[in-house]
Amino acid sequence: MSDPASDNLRGTLSAKKLVLTGAVLLLATVAVLGACSLVGVISLGDLTPLVWKTRLVRLTVAGVVGAALATAGMALQGLLRNPLAEPYILGISSGAGVGVLFGLAMADWWGALPKWLSGPTLALAGAAVTCAAVYGIAQRRGRLDPYVLLLSGVIVNAFNGAVMLSIYLFVKPYVVSGFMVWAMGNLTDNVPAGMLITAGACVLAGWVVLLARGAAFNTLGLGDEVAATSGVPVHWLRVETFLVVSLMTAAAVTLAGPVGFVGLIVPHVCRLVVGPDHRRLAVVSALVGAMFLMIADTLCRVVGELLNAGDLPVGVLTALCGGPFFIALLRGRLKGGR
């Protein structure tokens, strides 16, 4: 006999509504991209194809990174049934960052690997190892303790941060400043086309997998036992989700560095607006995440121009927004648990 709550959740969304929602938000995303490309200091002499190209490339990078992190956060929150879960907090972003920095350092030391290859490959390895570590620490007899999970993420983040600082000690001084700006979460238009296409393909592939697992996440929300009896392979779903999240996070970190809290803010706000159905959330979170980071980066660019401070790292802005948001969510959960 099926569970009424599960049946109701499965019936809240039709394919037609899902496509319509995606189409509307895709048009909105394109509109935001066009509007953001017009924002900022532009002189008549700047209206050249080169300026348009660089701005559109940077905004495209922002869109890919925002979609990746928001979708990854949505998947982790659904998988772990914890609204505080996201790649940055759980240390997955910093793990990917360690991989990227190590790859860049290797290229600087010995030229052992091409930069375009070393970054993505080692970023994925770092993210996957971090996922395995956090997952292993938080498990108790096959169950995941949500608070131990967060604490393990904090510990792994601190460890990864120490590894990053250690890498700085062994690279040339003039290289360190560039590494540090990247580590703050910095978007740039100086991204090789091949890297952007590869990262975008990885994000798209991961999004397709997570969209296909939306119904399984819905059922998992009723509990591991109910999900297992309903035919959901809970253990494999966890492994698959962590692998996909590692891939998407690695792609995002390779492009922009560890940008924090996008995967926390966007899925939570989207869930409040459109409800808990993860099929809809997969579509909405991806496109809203893309718009969110494009707008955030444009704001950083404009503020930097006004202050004559250059481009401000977008990771600083997302951290300033995400820190208080995380505290508010944590306090709400603690009050709800009393």
List the one residue out of 114, 113, 90, 103 whose CA is nearest residue 246: 90
- Given this model, what pLDDT does residue 4 score? 38
Tell me, what's the pLDDT at 87? 92
Is position 281 within any domain? yes
In a domain, residue 21? The reply is no
In whole angstroms, what is the distance from residue 72 CA to residue 332 CA?
23
What is the sign of the dihedral through the CA atoms of 25, 29, 30 and 36? positive
Gap between the Cα atoms of 99 and 105, Å rounded: 10
Within a domain: 19: no
Q: Tokens for 300?
A: 């950083």
* Residue percentage of the chain with pLDDT more than 90: 38
Q: Is residue 131 part of a domain?
A: yes
In a domain, 13, yes or no: no
- List CB contacts of 127: < 8 A, sequence separation 6 or more: 87, 92, 93, 95, 96, 99, 245, 246, 247, 249, 250, 253
Q: Which of 51-60, 163-172, 208-217, 309-318 has the highest mean pLDDT?
A: 208-217
pLDDT-derived band of residue 113, with 50, 70 and 90 as boundaries?
low
Say if 18 falls within a structural domain. Answer: no
Residues 201-219 have pLDDT tens digits of: 999 999 999 999 999 999 9
DSSP code string of 106-118: HHHHT--S-HHHH
In a domain, residue 23? The reply is: no
Total domains in the fold of the chain: 1
**Among 58-67, 138-147, 161-170, 290-299, which stretch is predicted with the lowest mean pLDDT?**
138-147
Per-residue pLDDT tens digits for 223-262: 888 888 988 998 899 889 999 999 999 999 999 989 989 9
> Greater confidence, 218 or 177?
218
More confident call, 162 vs 151: 162
Residue 277 lies in a domain: yes
Tokens 């956090």 locate to: 134
CA dist 290 and 129 (Å) reads 27
> For the whole model, what pTM was predicted?
0.87
Domain CATH number, residue 68:
1.10.3470.10
- Mean of per-residue pLDDT scores for the chain: 84
Residue 266: closest CA among 296, 245, 244: 296
Residue 162 structural domain: 60-330
